[in-house]
Structure 1
């Protein structure tokens, strides 16, 4: 995938809070499509190997959460974090991270990630199939800018991180901003 490519159309099986649901788990299933998340908006999508993992939980997700207002100032409407994890795991991770701004998207079966060409084996870590780490600026479902970590491969012995960092995307947005005409 790269700039100019349209995102694949898939359905995500999500769990959303619903106060009309009684009991200790007030959530219901809600299917959302690629269009539900991306149509008519300029967003950041970043995908990572797994919820609750060290780099994802310590740097990448918190960095996007902390930088939310700065991203908004650069014309970003939403920030989405995706992982090949189910909705239960993604919702619990969002709660654990105390997210207020970044929204999580569960790609439990890896269908979106596979269609993006970013599904890799991580059996060397006991993870199974997961997403390679990347980020994209997406405008109305079309990739505007692409940020993929180097070394895309199955069972990579390392977890490269930097290209898809919030700091790198902010730098790109700042440099891409057109100067005001005098």
Structure 2
């Protein structure tokens, strides 16, 4: 069963690229006492993610933060090296590019998908959520193949 509006974000560790390499960051550090927009993509550097989903958040980052958001997080079931390289290639300086390398948070959220048919293993569904102090206040999960309900513009309109 997937996480729902009103649920608390489960405890998990993710990876972020630091000055000396990948570093742990917990969901508690990310969400407690903050308003966060978290969006997840099936894979870094994939067409829908690189052409549509991530760029929308980059272009709208200032507006999203002006609406009271402390952090905009892009998460994928990739490693921290890939997420860092993808963020740099997309000029995503205003976003926190997080790696859920083993899919631990994705599984805990109940938002994993089987992408073995594409040679990608277990990945995250495409989704976006607004999290207030660790509690989900809005969740938008995309149907397969779409970038609509989780697009930056849709999330911005809800802030």
Fold-level match, TM-score > 0.5? Answer: yes
- Secondary structure at the residue paired with 2:105? helix
2:154 paired residue number: 168
**TM-score between both structures, scaled by the size of structure 1:** 0.82
Do structure 1's residue 11 and structure 2's residue 7 form an aligned pair?
no
The root-mean-square deviation of aligned C-alpha atoms, in Å, is 1.2
Unaligned runs of 5+ in 1: 18-26, 151-157, 174-182
Aligned with 2:78 (options 85, 109, 115): 85
1:141 paired residue number: 134
Do structure 1's residue 55 and structure 2's residue 55 form an aligned pair?
no
Unaligned runs of 5+ in 2: none
In the alignment, the residues of structure 2 paired with residue 61 and residue 36 of structure 1 have an alpha-carbon distance, to the nearest angstrom, of 23
In the alignment, the residues of structure 1 paired with residue 147 and residue 17 of structure 2 have an alpha-carbon distance, to the nearest angstrom, of 29
**TM-superposition CA deviations, 1:45-76 (whole Å, max 9, x none):** 00010000011111111110110111122111
Do structure 1's residue 44 and structure 2's residue 33 form an aligned pair?
no
Between the two proteins, the alignment pairs up a number of residues equal to 157
TM-aligned CA deviation for residue 15 of structure 1: 2.9
Q: 1:91-106 to 2 correspondence within 5 Å?
A: 91-106=84-99
TM-aligned CA deviation for residue 148 of structure 1: 0.9
In the alignment, the residues of structure 1 paired with residue 90 and residue 76 of structure 2 have an alpha-carbon distance, to the nearest angstrom, of 15
Which structure carries more relative contact order (alpha carbon 8 Å, separation 6+)? 2
